[in-house]
């Protein structure tokens, strides 16, 4: 068992008071991955103060030089990909190919944001007056609190840390209490890449006290949060009062529309991956499957056969398709929705039980679960479950399917399977989500475009790259007018 520490002002330190908590392998809770410090408000104070002290010098480091540090981190992540991917699987539970993919996202983001050190582009425009120039530039916001979840324990921190640093901000990072070891390894790589002390600080602990203390700290200028919609909504409201920059990437209840002209085999493969990959523990997971009435019965038979073939187990074992849920709390939540589905009159077509036989009994394994005959007003069709759980509904037409897809409080991602280019065009236009896939699963966003949703799925600027992406969170615009005429010139006023 590894003993983890906080990282504050360039030093690895114990938490104030010496309290700790354990990180367990959710596939086998007999294995303790690490003990981590349970930080206090005093720890948060010290971390924020260190970040504030470092900001004045870090913001003056030329952005290309900041990019060189992040590039070195990308190179180190590439060399350590196998080791870190295995750690992701052990600590979070996703199967090893997904654990490696988690690290690859961090690598991609590091290289991308390292390149932004040579861009960070603003705008130069002509002035209406002679001997005068006009431009806008990006400048850092200040100290950022970055609060991340457990389901992508390397990728999501990288999505936040790298753009925050390349923009010239300093950071206090609070990872999920379920994945402290993954977070620690990422911080170690950045420190070894050459970050000055105080630029990146790490505090461990539960979100209910450490995260709240950090997000509302008066020394913090901005907050970037990924987690549940309920927590994110409250956080956004609290940050609005002092005018703090805040962005929240939250939940989803993502729909996949399958039309009667779709390639059913392709659609089922995509839905199996989108719904049961990461045991359904993705904000982009396929959750609502809206199927045209003409193919409804055939589709369900193919879907159930495909889901039955999936193998559950420890993600480090070859041939395993689905790993565990993250915790007993999450298991109870999924089982609660299984009960609700039955109570509300949906048909339990597959699964619905916790796996307790053999080695699976030592982890949090849930059978792939499918409910059919689901109505749009049922709880299992409206509320985020975050487990291997599909709700299948029938649609009369494309318009009806889009209406159902839009009829929830979330708006992160949706997908449509169709061979009709006109149907796909209508779906692209009318589906009310931040991301739309055509003939592809709901998972698999690429880092060079913004990532995020509408309604209860997101608040503030988007994550990742591209216009409207993470740099809009981690910078503010400054407009500069320089008059070199040597006289008073009055814009919009005639002489």
Can you give the pLDDT at residue 238?
Answer: 85
Phi, psi dihedral angles at 381 (to 5 degrees) = -100, 0
Q: What is the pLDDT of residues 106-131, one digit of tens each?
A: 999 999 999 999 999 999 999 999 99
Q: In angstroms, what CA-CA distances link 43 with 11, 49, 390?
A: 13, 10, 42
The owner of tokens 């949906």 is: 346
Q: In angstroms, what CA-CA distances link 109 with 75, 77, 445, 468, 472?
A: 12, 11, 12, 16, 16
Q: Which of 1, 41, 7 is nearest to 21 (CA)?
A: 1
In whole angstroms, give the CA distance from residue 477 to residue 472.
9
Phi, psi dihedral angles at 40 (to 5 degrees) = -115, 170
CA 45 to chain centre: 26
CB 158 within 8 A of CB 226: no
Contacting residues for 308 by C-beta, under 8 A, at least 6 apart: 350, 368
Q: Which of 226, 371, 192 is nearest to 287 (CA)?
A: 371
Q: What is the pLDDT of residues 246-258, one digit of tens each?
A: 999 999 999 999 9
Cα of first residue to Cα of last residue in the chain, in angstroms, is 77
Q: Which two tokens stand for residue 31?
A: 């294995």
Question: Which residues make beta-bridge pairs with 322?
Answer: 312
Question: Which residues make beta-bridge pairs with 146?
Answer: 173, 224
Residues of the chain with pLDDT under 50: none
Three-state secondary structure along 429-464?
Answer: HHCCCCEEEECCCCCCCCCCCEECCEECCEECCCEE
CB 295 within 8 A of CB 264: yes
Q: How many CB atoms lie within 10 A of CB 376?
A: 17
Contacting residues for 303 by C-beta, under 8 A, at least 6 apart: 268, 271, 272, 289, 370, 390, 392
Can you give the pLDDT at residue 242?
Answer: 81
Q: In a 3-state reduction of DSSP, which class is residue 86?
A: helix
Among residues 249, 383, 384, 463, which one is catalytic? 249
Q: Which two tokens stand for residue 347?
A: 């048909």
Catalogue the E-assigned strands of 198-243: 200-202, 222-226
Can you give the pLDDT at residue 322?
Answer: 98
Can you give the pLDDT at residue 234?
Answer: 87
User: Would you state the torsion angle of the CA atoms of residues 479, 484, 486, 492, taken in this order, to the nearest 10 degrees?
Assistant: -50
Q: In a 3-state reduction of DSSP, which class is residue 392?
A: strand
Can you give the pLDDT at residue 391?
Answer: 98
Cα angle at 70 between 69 and 74, to 5 degrees?
120
Can you give the pLDDT at residue 494?
Answer: 66
Q: In angstroms, what CA-CA distances link 101 with 3, 95, 257, 335, 422?
A: 26, 10, 26, 28, 34
Can you give the pLDDT at residue 436?
Answer: 98
Catalogue the E-assigned strands of 38-142: 123-126, 132-140
In whole angstroms, give the CA distance from residue 174 to residue 213.
11
Q: Is 249 a catalytic residue?
A: yes
Question: Which residues make beta-bridge pairs with 138?
Answer: 477
In whole angstroms, give the CA distance from residue 405 to residue 286.
12
Among residues 91, 283, 367, 384, which one is catalytic? 283
Q: In angstroms, what CA-CA distances link 313 with 100, 240, 317, 367?
A: 17, 44, 7, 11
Q: Which of 88, 90, 87 is nearest to 28 (CA)?
A: 90
As a whole-number percent, the residues of the chain with pLDDT over 70 amount to: 100
In whole angstroms, give the CA distance from residue 242 to residue 255.
36
The owner of tokens 């070199």 is: 484
In whole angstroms, give the CA distance from residue 46 to residue 437.
44
Residue 44, CB-side half-sphere exposure with 13 Å CA sphere = 25
Task: Using DSSP bridges, classify how beta strands 475-483 and 132-140 pair: parallel, antiparallel or unpaired.
Answer: antiparallel
Q: In angstroms, what CA-CA distances link 461 with 172, 192, 251?
A: 19, 30, 15
CA 485 to chain centre: 50
Q: What is the radius of gyration, based on Cα positions, of the chain?
A: 24
């Amino acid at each position: 068992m590894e003993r983890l520490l906080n990282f504050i002002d360039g030093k690895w330190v114990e938490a104030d008071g010496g309290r700790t908590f354990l990180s367990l392998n959710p596939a086998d809770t007999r294995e303790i991955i690490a003990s981590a410090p349970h930080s206090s408000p005093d720890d948060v104070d010290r971390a924020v103060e260190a970040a504030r002290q470092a900001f004045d010098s870090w913001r003056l480091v030329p952005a290309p030089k900041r990019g060189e540090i992040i590039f070195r981190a990308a190179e180190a992540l590439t060399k350590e990909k196998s080791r870190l991917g295995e750690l992701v699987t052990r600590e979070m539970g996703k199967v090893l190919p997904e654990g490696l993919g988690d690290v690859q996202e961090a690598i991609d983001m590091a290289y991308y944001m390292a390149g932004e050190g040579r861009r960070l582009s603003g705008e130069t425009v002509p002035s209406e007056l002679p001997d005068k120039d006009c431009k806008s530039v990006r400048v850092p916001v200040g100290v950022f609190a970055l609060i991340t979840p457990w389901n992508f324990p390397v990728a999501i921190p990288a999505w936040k840390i790298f753009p925050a640093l390349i923009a010239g901000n300093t950071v206090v990072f609070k990872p999920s209490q379920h994945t402290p070891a993954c977070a620690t390894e990422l911080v170690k790589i950045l420190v070894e890449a050459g970050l000055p002390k105080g630029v990146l600080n790490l505090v461990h602990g539960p979100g209910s006290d450490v995260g709240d203390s950090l997000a509302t700290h008066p020394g913090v200028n901005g907050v970037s949060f990924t987690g549940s919609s309920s927590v994110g909504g409250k956080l956004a409201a609290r940050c609005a009062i002092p005018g703090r920059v805040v962005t929240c990437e939250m939940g989803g209840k993502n729909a996949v529309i399958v039309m009667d002209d779709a390639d059913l085999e392709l659609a089922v493969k995509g839905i199996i991956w989108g719904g049961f990959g990461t045991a359904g523990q993705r904000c982009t997971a396929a959750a609502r499957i809206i199927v045209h009435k003409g193919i409804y019965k055939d589709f369900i038979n193919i879907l159930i056969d495909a889901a039955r073939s999936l193998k559950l187990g420890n993600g480090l074992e070859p041939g395993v398709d689905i790993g565990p849920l993250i915790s007993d709390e999450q298991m109870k939540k999924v089982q609660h929705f299984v009960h609700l589905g039955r109570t509300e009159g949906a048909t339990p077509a597959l699964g619905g039980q916790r796996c307790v036989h053999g080695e699976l009994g030592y982890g949090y394994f849930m059978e792939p679960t499918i409910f059919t005959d689901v109505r749009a007003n049922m709880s299992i069709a409206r509320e985020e479950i975050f487990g291997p759980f599909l709700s299948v509904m029938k649609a009369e037409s494309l318009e009806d399917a889009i209406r159902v897809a839009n009829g929830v409080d979330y708006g992160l991602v949706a997908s449509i399977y169709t061979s009709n280019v006109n149907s796909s065009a209508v779906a692209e236009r009318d589906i009310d989500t931040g991301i739309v896939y055509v003939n592809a699963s709901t998972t698999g966003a690429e880092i060079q475009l913004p990532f995020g949703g509408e309604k209860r799925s997101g608040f503030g600027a988007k994550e990742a790259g591209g216009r409207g992406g993470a740099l809009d969170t981690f910078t503010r615009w400054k407009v500069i007018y320089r008059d070199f005429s040597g006289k008073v010139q009055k814009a919009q006023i005639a002489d």
